[in-house]
Amino acid sequence: MSVDTKKLAALLEWYKQSLGDNLVAALVVNRDGLIMDSLVGDLEKSLSEEIISGLSALVEPVLTRITEEFSSGSFGTGTFDTEDYRFIFCESGPEAVLVTVLEAIAGVDSVFPYAYLAAEKIARIFDGRTVSPVIPKLVADSGANNVQRKLEKLQKVNIKSGEYAFKLILGGDGAVGKTSMVHRYVENKFETDYKSTIGTSIMKKECTFKELKSKVRFVIWDLAGQAQFKRVRQSYLANAEAGLLVYDVTNRSSFENIDKNWYREIKKASPNIVLILVGNKIDLESNRVVSRDEGETLAQKLTLTYVETSAKTGENVNDAFKMLALQIIKKFIETQDF
């Protein structure tokens, strides 16, 4: 595949002109989130490298998530907000995706028509058809309804009858075993040394309840190095429907921090979240410093279900996720307000 990179660069330049100060950055990425070309808005020019690398860390997991949520792999257009930015993902043929990054407060309506046009042109550049990189001024309003329709389609993503997909997050101090629990649950594996990956890793797992004819699909977001990434944390914790609050039964301060920090921070970011409390590492019984009674008392205080697990032996790990899924179904059926 030979892409006319000059034309691509020219097109991005035109795109920038069309959006003016609204634009923080525009990136053309492939389906794996790898950047093929990018450009930073004038206001951020001096910081461009830093911005692009920061953005790419956000783009990749989001793209994976959007793609996964559409079983066909085709998602059309998606928007995603973080604390600082607003992202618009536009499919651009089978190979590329145009990612437009705006300030968090920017309106998107005036941007959409340009984004569609640019994405269409990028698709042509990728498959070698002739196309002009020039983006004309569009009359306001044209195509606005169309955009609205596409957005609605996006927001209705994938809730089919009896099948729900929920964002699941993990709260708790570093090294309590959050990543290990997810790997145990998703892959049924335990490794003693996970590289602390940068950014977010996103995994998917279905939990089926035959009796209820229901399936809960968890989209599990595992954020590495919470402490270092405060800025990302807020958007990580937001819009979550489910969460595990994890502490380590051999580490008292990890237990105390559940009540002191994690519970409140998560509830603030996602007020309707369904949580359960998990005391992990029960295989290390001789090092235990937090008793089961203390765990249960805290759970009662916070009105949560309590489970004790070992990601190492696998004890109760599936049950922890299953209990969470059941509570979600229950809540879903009772309130119907998801």
* Helices then strands, each counted (H, E), the chain: 10, 11
Map tokens 């996006």 to a residue.
154
Pick the stretch among 139-147, 150-158, 230-238, 281-289 that binds ligand GDP (CB under 6 A): 281-289
The helix or strand, by DSSP H or E, that contains position 312, with its residue range, turns out to be: none
> How many residues belong to the chain?
338
Q: In what order do the strands lie in the sheet with 214-223?
A: 200-209, 214-223, 163-171, 242-248, 274-280, 305-308
Taking CB under 6 A as the rule, does residue 312 contact ligand GDP? yes
Q: Which among ligand GDP, Mg ion, none contacts residue 192 (Cβ within 5 to 8 A by kind)?
A: ligand GDP
Taking CB under 6 A as the rule, does residue 180 contact ligand GDP? yes
User: Would you give the binding string for ligand GDP spanning residues 190-229, x where CB under 6 A is met?
Assistant: --x-x-----------------------------------
Taking CB under 6 A as the rule, does residue 178 contact ligand GDP? yes
Q: How far is the CB of 254 from ligand GDP (least distance, A)?
A: 9
Is the CB of 172 or the CB of 295 nearer to Mg ion? Answer: 172
Q: How far is the CB of 230 from Mg ion (least distance, A)?
A: 16
The CA distance from 242 to 272, in Å, is: 9
Provide the 8-state DSSP code for 192: S
Pick the stretch among 31-39, 152-160, 257-265, 309-317 that binds ligand GDP (CB under 6 A): 309-317
The CA distance from 219 to 235, in Å, is: 15
Contact 11, 122 (CB under 8 A): yes
The CA distance from 225 to 229, in Å, is: 7
Pick the stretch among 84-92, 111-119, 174-182, 205-213 that binds Mg ion (CB under 5 A): 174-182
Is the CB of 78 or the CB of 177 nearer to Mg ion? Answer: 177
Is the CB of 9 or the CB of 284 nearer to ligand GDP? Answer: 284
Return the number of other C-beta atoms located less than 10 Å from residue 83's C-beta.
Answer: 13
Q: How far is the CB of 65 from ligand GDP (least distance, A)?
A: 19
Pick the stretch among 43-51, 98-106, 170-178, 287-295 that binds Mg ion (CB under 5 A): 170-178
Establish how many alpha carbons lie within 13 A of residue 231's alpha carbon, considering only the half-sphere containing its beta carbon: 7
Is the CB of 241 or the CB of 248 nearer to ligand GDP? Answer: 248
Q: How far is the CB of 306 from ligand GDP (least distance, A)?
A: 16
Three-state DSSP at 139 gives coil
Distances (CA, A) of 325 to 67, 181, 285, 293, 318: 23, 15, 28, 24, 11
Contact 235, 217 (CB under 8 A): no
Taking CB under 6 A as the rule, does residue 281 contact ligand GDP? yes
**32 φ, ψ to 5°?**
-95, 5
Of the candidates 82, 179, 235, 309, which one interacts with Mg ion according to CB under 5 A? 179
Q: Which among Mg ion, ligand GDP, none contacts residue 77 (Cβ within 5 to 8 A by kind)?
A: none
User: Would you give the binding string for ligand GDP spanning residues 20-59, x where CB under 6 A is met?
Assistant: ----------------------------------------
The DSSP result for 67-108, as a single string, is HHHSTTS---EEEEE-SSEEEEEEEETTTEEEEEEEETT---
Taking CB under 6 A as the rule, does residue 175 contact ligand GDP? yes
Q: Which among Mg ion, ligand GDP, none contacts residue 174 (Cβ within 5 to 8 A by kind)?
A: ligand GDP
Of the candidates 290, 311, 320, 328, which one interacts with ligand GDP according to CB under 6 A? 311
Q: Which residues bind ligand GDP (CB under 6 A)?
A: 174-180, 192, 194, 280-281, 283-284, 310-312
